[in-house]
Amino acid sequence: VTEELNSASVGTAAPPSRVSAMIFTRDRTVEDVLRGCLENLVPTAEFIKGTVEMAVEQLAQRASPRLLFVDVSGSPEPVARINELAQVCEPGTGVIVLGDTNDIRLYRDLRNAGVVEYFFKPLVGSLITQAVNSALTGFVEQPSSRTSKFVFVIGVRGGVGATTLATSAAWHLAEELQRRVLLLDLDLYAGDAALQLDAVPTHALYEALERTERVDDLFLERALIPVSPRLSLLASLEPIDGSVIPSEASVLSLLEKLMSRYRYVFVDIPAGMVHSVPQMLQLPSICLLVSGATLVSARDVMRWRAILGPNTPERKTLHILNRTGSHGSLPDAEFLRVVGEPPDITIPYDRAIGIASKLGMKELEKCASLQRGLAPLYAMIAGEPARGQRSMIDRLLRRT
């Protein structure tokens, strides 16, 4: 049952395509209270008679509202459901949870999961109005668990398959796991990610990095290249004679603007740029270090591990050994002896991968050898909680 409230728009009107508020509840009284509260605060409100489970299901399929109310009354594991919800809806959505227990631990856990407020029944209209007001004016100040996860992808040297793996993982998370994903290709002169995703690179990324002060919501709306409903791309194809390496401050500033919009931000970092973004690499993140299986690659892995530093609770490097069995590969045992640690992920050399990557993502997604190899990676990326990126970016930007 869906109804819309026809009330006056307030100053914080959402774009027309986006419903301002969605309410999932089966409780008639709750519905009445919320109708009264929202009438003068949001232009559109959609009431759906359903549980938090239904909210998870629906938001995986459609655009998120600015404000989302979910009723967890009777749910045996409300915090787990809210965490699922956080995975499928845009980080910029303000979530208000309604329930039937007055439990301080539940309250704390829900706040830690990133919800704006938790209210138990009977609802007090004035408190809800207050929460809605502050949610509409202060969206970005959500706790860290509602920010993006960063996945940095670095090839130890050219041609080892970094872009192929970055686009495959970003695509899989968006299409199969229904996460909202952005892929940022920092190789401004190659446009490889766009080629693999069958998208047309634009000049906007270059502009965004050159003049960060221009980047606002409107700019991003135009610059983001929609690949699929859940996957967007930021990629340029600048003239080959250019040689601008974006400054770290501009990359951080761009990441900051992207992180309230996407659950996952993948960054394809050309090897030659790594030295100019040392602070970015220290952000809470997963760093995918992609190598080939040759002796040269094995040596490179050791050198890169030294540059990237040891894993911490917030930052983890995963070594993806790609193209095993190709001409010039070391036997597994020999590779392990040189590197000293087994790879986290192994993907065989398969001509079908090379062919599919030229035909686009739909073909790559069908490559069994690639998908089998990447399956544990998908689980690792999707399972890790996001932590602390926002506060760290704030700190770095203030300093730089």
Q: Which two tokens stand for residue 42?
A: 């949001």
Cα within 13 Å of Cα(274), Cβ side: 21
Rule CB under 6 A: say whether 155 interacts with ligand ATP.
yes
Least Cβ distance, residue 356 to ligand ATP (angstroms): 7
Rule CB under 5 A: say whether 192 interacts with Mg ion.
yes
Rule CB under 5 A: say whether 185 interacts with Mg ion.
no
**CB neighbourhood size of 348 (10 A):** 17
Rule CB under 6 A: say whether 233 interacts with ligand ATP.
no
Q: Which two tokens stand for residue 62?
A: 């459609």
Partner in contact with 353, chosen from ligand ATP, Mg ion, none, beta carbon below 5 to 8 Å by kind: ligand ATP
Rule CB under 6 A: say whether 90 interacts with ligand ATP.
no
Rule CB under 6 A: say whether 322 interacts with ligand ATP.
yes
The Cα 331–Cα 336 span in angstroms is: 9
Least Cβ distance, residue 228 to ligand ATP (angstroms): 20
The Cα 400–Cα 396 span in angstroms is: 6
Q: Which two tokens stand for residue 367?
A: 């490559």
Query: For the chain, where are the E strands, in sequence order?
Result: 21-24, 45-48, 67-71, 94-99, 117-120, 149-155, 181-185, 225-226, 231-234, 264-269, 285-291, 315-324, 345-348
> Is residue 197 helix, strand or coil?
coil
Rule CB under 6 A: say whether 354 interacts with ligand ATP.
yes
Least Cβ distance, residue 206 to Mg ion (angstroms): 17
Between residues 351 and 399, which has the closer beta carbon with respect to ligand ATP? 351
The Cα 37–Cα 31 span in angstroms is: 10
Figure out which of the listed residues 25, 51, 64, 163 binds Mg ion, where binding follows CB under 5 A: 163
Residue nearest to Mg ion (CB): 163
Between residues 162 and 265, which has the closer beta carbon with respect to ligand ATP? 162
Partner in contact with 320, chosen from ligand ATP, Mg ion, none, beta carbon below 5 to 8 Å by kind: none
Rule CB under 6 A: say whether 158 interacts with ligand ATP.
yes
What is the DSSP-derived secondary structure letter of residue 138?
-
Rule CB under 6 A: say whether 347 interacts with ligand ATP.
yes
Instruction: Please report, as ranges, the residues that interact with ligand ATP according to CB under 6 A.
Output: 155, 158-164, 192, 322-323, 347, 349-350, 353-354, 357
Instruction: Please report, as ranges, the residues that interact with Mg ion according to CB under 5 A.
Output: 163, 192
